[in-house]
Amino acid sequence: MEQYPRDLQTARPGVGDQLSIATPELVAIEFPLAGLGSRFVAVLLDYLLQAAVVFILTIVFLVLLSGLSIRGGGGAGASAAGGDLSTKWTIAIIIAIPFLLEWAYFALFEAFWHGQTPGKRIMKIRVIQQTGRPVSLFESLARNLVRVIDLLPTAYAIGVISMFITKRQQRLGDLIAGTLVVHERPLEAPVESIGSSRTFTSGVFQPVATAPPPRVSQLPTDAVARLTMADLQTLEHYLARRLDVPMETRAALAARISQNIAQKMNYAIPNGMHQEVFLEEAAYALRSLPQARR
């Protein structure tokens, strides 16, 4: 029996910075790759935020250090020793803050903030796995541990060179962790329903709801019964997301899924029936079966 394919990555024809990933549900997802400009601005915003945090914390620790020095100035030797110890701890914390920000800031934000840092969120870009799935803590740590190499010799020179010579604009950290940086897809505004109105009296007059006529599937029940709930999930995934897929990819997926479904049903698609119509009918008939309602 033919198995549904795993994740497949293809470059969209004619678009150099567009990545198309076919999911296990045979639905292609388009990801516009983030270029050097948007990524540079995002990391610049992150560094500015880090600098502001370091500045504020440094001021706070200096104020605390001054308070400890004033309090310990009139005491005995023990107080002086305690003041020296507090001073050392304060200096150690001030030194540790930039280190923690550099190593933990990017890794933790990307792992627990859906692949985004504050700078990436402002620029509407995010880090994902090459399969299109969200990054985990492992991938985030891996790509950011290599950041120190991408920074060499200065100003992300190695990272920039790596982005120019790789097809998916990946720096060394992305290549090691198997990640990509992509633009967020804009959410489409919901289409207003037929009964919606923008007049002031829309809440007074309610549209009369008419019951749709009962629908009867054109497919034989015994053939539909050969399908499984996994097939229904595949059909629903395709039908729900087909409008987001380029036409050539959409047609190829429809042909492949309809061929597989018809083979499982041991049913020949009637001449003149469009493949997507067949998939819609198969999904409707499968949902109508008694075992699908449980």
Interval 34-82: pLDDT, tens: 989 999 999 999 999 998 988 888 888 778 777 766 665 555 555 555 5
What own/partner pairs with CB < 8 Å and gap ≥ 24 does 87-96 have?
A: 90/61, 90/64, 90/65, 93/61, 94/57, 94/58, 94/61
Please give the torsion angle defined by the CA atoms of residues 60, 64, 70 and 74, in that order, rounded to the nearest 10 degrees: -170
Residue 94, pLDDT above cutoff 90? no
Tokens found for residue 30? 């388009």
Q: What is the pTM of this model?
A: 0.56
Q: What is the pLDDT of residue 196?
A: 43
Q: How far apart are CA 135 and CA 147, in angstroms?
A: 16
Digit-coded pLDDT (tens) for 133-179 = 889 999 999 999 999 899 888 888 999 999 999 988 999 999 999 99
Q: In this structure, what are the phi and psi dihedrals at residue 21, rounded to the nearest 5 degrees?
A: -120, 125
Instruction: Fill in the amino acid letter for 40.
Output: F
